[in-house]
């Protein structure tokens, strides 16, 4: 069952194909229809944050390029050209509705670092308090591979906990999730409601076949998992259909709805650890430690066999079995150098080895999430 009654805060993510013509030029009419719907939601008392793609496409249009360039620096340059054009159009159109908008450009580092995340949350809430609509995009011009989120489906999902949104709406060029890519398989059927994302659902989604889109349905399912695991709902709607955003809230029930009630419902810290933090290294543990972690015990030095990478106390690391399976992710209480010295030892020996004994555990159970399966996320 869709729950749309008490929705107060929504994030609306708009894909490039829903903002641009096929040749990449920004389609002002599409932005006008989007803003008209946003203005209606605001009139109804909702808070709206927009995550808008389209910078690279707008840059392609401005430079009259027939297709997306291959190299990252070229894409970054086009994003820098296109982002300014995009915002100019948003601003002019929002003015028609007597509304103000603002630009927020983000990278993965803004979610990875707890302090920056807090700053982001404060800024977003201050904008909301001013009644100004934040328009978010990845800071593509500066996003080298290591700090990129990579696609705006994921970026918008990561924002849900930051502003405590009730619903994420992904506006795409298609009605929602089909049993297979309908551009390839015309027999594919639209799903109206996904109770729980399992392997079967994940297998239905593939990449984008359009010239402008980035992640296709695969990144939308990944986004739904992030949002549903926070206990919130997500819906995919077709931006090419009239009023598809408004129809989420009426009897039309447009798009595919992903139910937030059936996710892992992770608490804020566990959700951050699972989806937003980047691991700085690896701790390799023996079979006994693997079993203990899966039984929700803390990681003690005695079960540690090796350490990979350099990290400080307070940073996030992966915990990996000797077979290479990622078991958990957590915040360490000792640095990599200290762990190399205390690995294989009992906790009471820490004082003798390090000349201090602040904690028994290398990772406390409260600062750790257990990861299911052989994930390489
Ligand atoms: N199972 C599926 N159901 C629907 N679309 C799918 C599926 N698998 C892959 N796709 C592709 O995903 C596209 C939507 O994603 P994308 O092109 O990235 O658009 P956007 O710019 O809106 O993010 C569809 O047009 C389709 O080509
Ligand atoms: N940040 C990029 C868009 C990345 C992206 O996810 O694109 P899309 O699949 O069209 O939503 C841009 O502004 O061009």
In this predicted structure, what is the pLDDT of residue 22?
77
239 is in an annotated binding site: no
Confidence (pTM): 0.89
Mutate to test the pocket of ligand 2, among 52, 75, 151, 156 (most ligand atoms within 8 A of CB): 151
214 is in an annotated binding site: yes
Q: Which of 37-41, 71-75, 265-269 has the highest mean pLDDT?
A: 37-41
Can you tell me the distance from the alpha carbon of 218 to that of 376, in angstroms, rounded to the nearest whole number?
A: 16
User: Which residue is closest in CA terms to ligand 1's atom 12?
Assistant: 216
**Run of H or E including 207:** none
216 CA to centre of ligand 1 in angstroms? 4
The arithmetic mean of pLDDT across residues 115-124, rounded, is: 93
In this predicted structure, what is the pLDDT of residue 126?
97
Percentage of the chain modeled with pLDDT above 90: 75
Q: Is 245 in the pocket of ligand 1 (CB under 6 A)?
A: no
Of 201, 258, 256, 268, nearest in space to 232 by CA: 258
79 CA to centre of ligand 2 in angstroms? 10
In this predicted structure, what is the pLDDT of residue 295?
95
ipTM score over 0.85, yes or no: yes
DSSP letter string, 318-377: EEEETTS-EEEEEE-SS-HHHHHHHTTS-GGGHHHHHS--S-S-SB-GGGEEEPPSS---
Q: pLDDT category, 377, cuts 50, 70, 90?
A: very low
Q: Is 172 in the pocket of ligand 1 (CB under 6 A)?
A: yes
Question: Is 192's pLDDT higher than 50?
Answer: yes
234 is in an annotated binding site: no
The β-bridge relationship of strands 368-370 and 326-331 is antiparallel
The arithmetic mean of pLDDT across residues 127-147, rounded, is: 89
218 is in an annotated binding site: yes
52 is in an annotated binding site: no
Identify each DSSP E strand in 162-225 by its residue range: 167-172, 193-194
Q: pLDDT category, 375, cuts 50, 70, 90?
A: very low
Q: pLDDT category, 208, cuts 50, 70, 90?
A: low
Tell me which long-range contacts 356-359 makes (C-beta under 8 A, separation of at least 24): 358/333, 359/333, 359/334
Of 92, 80, 79, 248, nearest in space to 171 by CA: 248
Mean pLDDT, the chain, integer: 92
Between residues 311 and 268, which one has the greater pLDDT?
311
Between residues 148 and 185, which one has the greater pLDDT?
185
The arithmetic mean of pLDDT across residues 43-70, rounded, is: 90
Between residues 172 and 214, which one has the greater pLDDT?
172
Q: Is 214 in the pocket of ligand 1 (CB under 6 A)?
A: yes
The β-bridge relationship of strands 193-194 and 47-52 is unpaired
In this predicted structure, what is the pLDDT of residue 209?
63
Question: Is 268's pLDDT higher than 90?
Answer: no
CATH for the stretch 279-370: 2.30.130.10
53 CA to centre of ligand 2 in angstroms? 4
Three-state SS across 213-254? CCCHHHHHHHHHHHHHCCCCEEEEEECCCCCCCHHHCCCCCC
For residue 73, the 8-state DSSP code is H
51 CA to centre of ligand 2 in angstroms? 9
Residue-wise pLDDT tens digits, 325-343: 999 999 999 999 999 999 9
In this predicted structure, what is the pLDDT of residue 212?
63
Domain ranges of the chain: 9-270, 279-370
The arithmetic mean of pLDDT across residues 234-241, rounded, is: 95
Percentage of the chain modeled with pLDDT above 70: 95
CATH architecture, domain 9-270: 3-Layer(aba) Sandwich (3.40)
In this predicted structure, what is the pLDDT of residue 69?
83
Can you tell me the distance from the alpha carbon of 50 to that of 103, in angstroms, rounded to the nearest whole number?
A: 10
In this predicted structure, what is the pLDDT of residue 70?
84
Q: pLDDT category, 137, cuts 50, 70, 90?
A: very high
The arithmetic mean of pLDDT across residues 49-61, rounded, is: 92
């Amino acid at each position: 069952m869709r729950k749309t009654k008490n929705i107060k805060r929504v994030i609306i993510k708009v894909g490039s194909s829903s903002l641009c013509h096929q040749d990449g030029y920004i389609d002002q009419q599409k932005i006008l229809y989007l803003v008209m719907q946003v203005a209606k939601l605001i009139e109804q008392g909702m808070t709206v944050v927009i995550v808008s793609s389209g910078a690279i496409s707008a840059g392609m249009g401005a430079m009259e390029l027939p297709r997306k360039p291959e190299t990252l620096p070229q894409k970054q340059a086009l994003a820098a050209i296109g982002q300014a054009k995009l915002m100019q159009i948003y601003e002019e159109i929002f003015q028609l509705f007597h509304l103000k908008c603002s630009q927020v450009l983000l990278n993965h580092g803004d979610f990875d670092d707890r302090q920056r995340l807090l700053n982001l949350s404060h800024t977003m809430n201050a904008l909301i308090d001013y009644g100004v609509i934040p328009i978010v995009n990845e800071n593509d011009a500066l996003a080298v591979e290591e700090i990129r989120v990579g696609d705006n489906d994921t970026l918008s999902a990561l924002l849900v906990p930051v502003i405590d949104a009730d619903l994420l709406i992904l506006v795409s060029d298609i009605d929602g999730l089909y049993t297979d890519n309908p551009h390839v398989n015309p027999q594919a059927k639209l799903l109206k409601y996904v109770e729980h994302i399992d392997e079967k659902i994940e297998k239905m989604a593939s990449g984008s076949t359009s010239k402008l889109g980035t992640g296709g349905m695969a990144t939308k399912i990944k986004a739904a998992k992030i949002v549903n695991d926070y206990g919130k709902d997500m819906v995919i709607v077709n931006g090419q259909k009239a009023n598809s955003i408004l129809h989420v809230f009426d009897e039309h029930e447009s798009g595919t709805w992903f139910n937030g009630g059936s996710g892992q419902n992770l608490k804020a810290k566990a959700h951050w650890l699972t989806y937003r933090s980047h691991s700085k290294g690896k701790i390799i543990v023996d079979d006994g430690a693997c079993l203990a972690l899966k039984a929700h015990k803390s990681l003690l030095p005695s079960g540690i066999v090796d350490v990979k990478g350099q990290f400080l106390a307070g940073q996030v690391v992966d915990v990996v079995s000797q077979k290479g399976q990622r078991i958990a992710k957590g915040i360490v209480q000792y640095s990599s150098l200290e762990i190399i010295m205390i690995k294989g030892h009992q906790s009471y020996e820490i004082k003798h080895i390090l000349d201090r004994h602040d904690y028994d555990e290398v990772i406390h159970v409260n600062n750790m999430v257990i990861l299911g399966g052989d994930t390489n996320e």
